Structure 1
Amino acid sequence: MTIEPLLPLILFALVSTITPGGATTLATASGAHFGFRRSIPVMGGIAFGLGSMACAAAAGLGGILMALPILQVAMKTLGSLYLIWLAVRIGGSGQPHEAGQRAKPTGFFAGVWMLWHNPKAWAMTLSAAASFAALANNPAGLAMLLGPIFCLLAAFSLTIWCILGQMLGRMLKTAWQWRLVNIALACLLVLSIVPMWLD
């Protein structure tokens, strides 16, 4: 297959992954606090989570999940609680080098977990599966197409946000600056929950 038929899908995945949301906010906060290298696991987890969701959506699992209202509510609740917990953790943190500051960034499996409990991400991957079904001859072929594209573009987008966060972290010199940025990132993370509950 040539690249031309894939361009609309690539553009869709790029726009979907690079726009601000919970994942990009988490990548920015991790970059500010831990730098790019130590943020690779969480970014990898989020990218893998989205890629695996796209595979599952193309294969039909996403449709089953989205057809069960009680499961959607459970996913929204768990996802919201986790994002609130992360927001409290970010908002309550200080400068990265402060004594006693927790020095462990969010890990790979936490990134996967966050994505798989986000109904909006399921809806987005389901939309991609429906919109670009003609690119493959069967669900398995579509899954093998959507998964890597979403994974790679999510990794690219998260890298940009993480590097921006790292640059921001280098600009912050005082405790009050860190406190202000941490609270702002925490508020953005909480705000990212709102679209999850809007049908």
Structure 2
Amino acid sequence: MKGVWVDVVKRDAGEFYKVNVGRGAHGKVQHILWIAKPLLYEDEKGNKRVDIVGVDRRIVKTEKGNFVLRREQGWITYDIGWECGYRGSSSFEILTPLPEDSIVLKYDIYHSERGSLGISTFALVSTRLDRIAVSLKRSGRLYGKPAKTVREYYVEEGEVKERDIPEACMDEELAELLVDEKEVGT
């Protein structure tokens, strides 16, 4: 989620910035993600924008249950998921064990008002791990696209990247991702 438009909320205490995450039935917003001001930048037209996915970004859940994206050294936020096929759905399973302080903010995108044209499931994952493996599945009319895969999300040169792990080498690479204890922090 790069270059996402930010809504400005003006109150007596000042300006606050938010992004609506997820689009449920009839366009209902599933989560509001409040944005810390240092993460904002302006585009060429003067609109406020934010890169939610990236290095040194952490999603924190407040005591009242609000989600706040702020800059924090050593944390990475990933956007995981896969778009579903026509009139289908998608799902994911995080294969890499996450530390307890990680946050997984799951959200859906309805492709029509009630989801009859498909419901894609995604998540914002905020963790200290620099690599995570995710099993992705989707259904519906896929028009030749794969129905399942295992995708690795990783950091390279300060950027969050992703790649599909081919089935031929899946066992070796998955074993490496799932067993590497120094990354899990144990």
Tell me the TM-score normalized by structure 1.
0.24
Structure showing the higher helix proportion among its residues: 1
User: Higher strand share goes to which structure?
Assistant: 2
